[in-house]
Amino acid sequence: MQGIEKRFGAVRANRAVQLRVDSGTVHGIVGENGAGKSTLMSILYGFYEADAGEISIEGLPAKIKGSREAIALGIGMVHQHFMLVDTLSALDNVMLGAEPSWRLNVARAEVRAKLEALMRDTGMTVNLDAVVGDLPVGERQRLEILKALFRGARILILDEPTAVLTPKETDQLFDTLRGLRARGTTILLITHKLKEIMALCDAVTVMRGGQVVLDAKIADTSIDGLAEAMVGRRVNLGREGAAAKPGAVLLSANGLGVTDALGVARLTDVSLQLRAGEIVGIAGVSGNGQSELLDVLSGLLAPTQGEMTLGGQTFTPAHWLSTRRARALRLAHVPEDRHRRGMVLPFAAWESAVLGYQGKRRYSGGWFGWMRQRAMRDDAATMMERYDVRPRNPALRSSKFSGGNQQKLVLAREAQFFDHEPQVLLVGQPTRGVDIGAIEFIHGRLRAMRDAGGAVLVVSSELDEILALSDRVIVMNAGRVAGELPIEQCSEAALGRLMGGAGH
């Protein structure tokens, strides 16, 4: 790609971008949210047409005016949010739009035979008859890759492929990608996770402000070098400051248990304490009870057994904490899934910025129940300034912000909407899908809340994040507490053993 230019109104998303990728390699594309990397890959896949510049594929000029042309040139793309129809089978999802015959029985048989051969060649397996909505995330991603390969992709673009994967699924994906590289497939990997770039890629391109600021072979760079190139300054994502000095217990939970509608135990005898001036990390492979624990502690889900004490009040399953009561007791919650639970994507940013707090006297109580929109907009603008949410436009639709800026907006709402900062802050996956600059910012805010005397609980599937933030770590396995360690005794190996149920 040579001299690629792309504007969206006044925003110059790509500025004379040069990108060269060698055949049969894994090439990383990294940069902060808004750096222009997704725009560049969308131009390559035909979602956008460049305003200027040239593209060559295997030495030949390529005119890509749409995805149909890109696919015909052997380019495939797997998006961060999968482009699958949940109500169709895996087989029909692959066939959709590429039916080899108008007779569906004949078409299905032909597609099945080709997919089975492709699965044998690549080692990727998917239940072709399963309804996609019933498949685990890792299998859906394999299906997306198979769909691209079925259409003849020799160049495969992956956008944040590990954002929703467990560590085990990530390892499986990397094994798959190494196998594809060995077969001659060229892979373009967009990710925020620099350790993945170093572990998997042959070369990397760093973008900042719509421009390429670094092109390097992996052997010639480092995580620190990539981080500095992305942000334009040195970045510290490690531990900072002196050890915490925990104070009084602000939240205490004893013997929590949750059994779902099918009679499956999701939490079993979970007990913990959150103290003032301390960050407690919850580590574990996704699906081991962390989500249920957050829901119980925040008042979204009543447990089937156990009790909790908060603000001098004790709650039991029959009379559990409500979200309204939680706010009154200065407990705030940043949910794991910001799209489904943290905001309403079609809403303007100022509307998402007051969700759950719209009943405050400052915003309501006017004539005939009218809400005071000007006050809401003003407070949203203040939050966006304090938390560096970009662009600083409260009227912009929530869905138009990058993942990192959406996360900062939700964190700002939960951290700022008390007369004082929350006493207890529960945060699920604080930096999932967030760029390195936003990660540093969010970590700094969480530490500041701890240092101001708050108790912070962080649930994260990223061990690096747990080790960087936590003063104490609780590991969960199969819905139980597998172990609890002070940070001084924590390492990836020690936590990994507990996560796998192997004990200390």
Give the per-residue pLDDT at 95: 92
CA distance 154 to 38: 19
Tell me the domains of the chain and their CATH numbers. Answer: 2-231 (3.40.50.300), 249-499 (3.40.50.300)
Strand partners, 61: 56
Candidates 463, 459, 482; CA nearest to 294 is 459
Specify the pTM.
0.76
* C-alpha pair distances (Å), 41 with each of 5, 159, 210: 12, 9, 12
Distance CA 436, CA 447 (A): 17
Token pair of 332 as six digits: 């705030």
CA 138/CA 125 separation, integer angstroms: 11
- Crossing angle of helices 104-122 and 137-150, rounded to 10°: 110
How wide is the angle at C-alpha 360 spanned by C-alphas 354 and 362, nearest 5°?
95
Residues in the chain where the model's pLDDT stays below 50: none
Q: What is the pLDDT of residues 224-269, one digit of tens each?
A: 899 899 888 887 777 776 667 899 999 999 999 999 988 999 999 9
* Span 329-359, pLDDT tens digits: 999 999 998 988 999 999 999 999 999 888 8
Long-range pairs for 445-450: beta carbons < 8 A, 24 or more residues apart = 445/387, 445/411, 445/415, 446/279, 447/240, 447/241, 447/279, 449/415, 449/421, 449/422, 449/425, 450/244, 450/277, 450/278, 450/279
Q: pLDDT value at position 476?
A: 94
Q: Dihedrals φ, ψ of 365, to 5°?
A: 90, 5
50 Cβ contact list (under 8 Å, min separation 6):
4, 5, 6, 14, 43
State the CB neighbour count (10 A cutoff) for residue 498.
Answer: 23
Beta pairing class for 52-57 and 60-62: antiparallel
pLDDT of residue 504: 53
Residues in the chain, total = 504
- Answer left, alpha or beta for residue 34, where phi above 0 means left and psi between -120 and 50 means alpha: left
Name the CA radius of gyration of the chain, rounded: 24
Helix (H, G, I), strand (E, B) or coil at 485: strand
In Å, how far are 210, 390, 434, 442 from 396, measured between CA atoms? 21, 10, 20, 22
> For residue 426, what are the β-bridge partners?
333, 457
Contact criterion met (CB below 8 Å) for 33 and 23? no
Question: Shortest CA distance to 473 belongs to which of 248, 290, 312, 251?
Answer: 290
Task: Report d(CA 99, CA 316) in Å as an integer.
Answer: 56
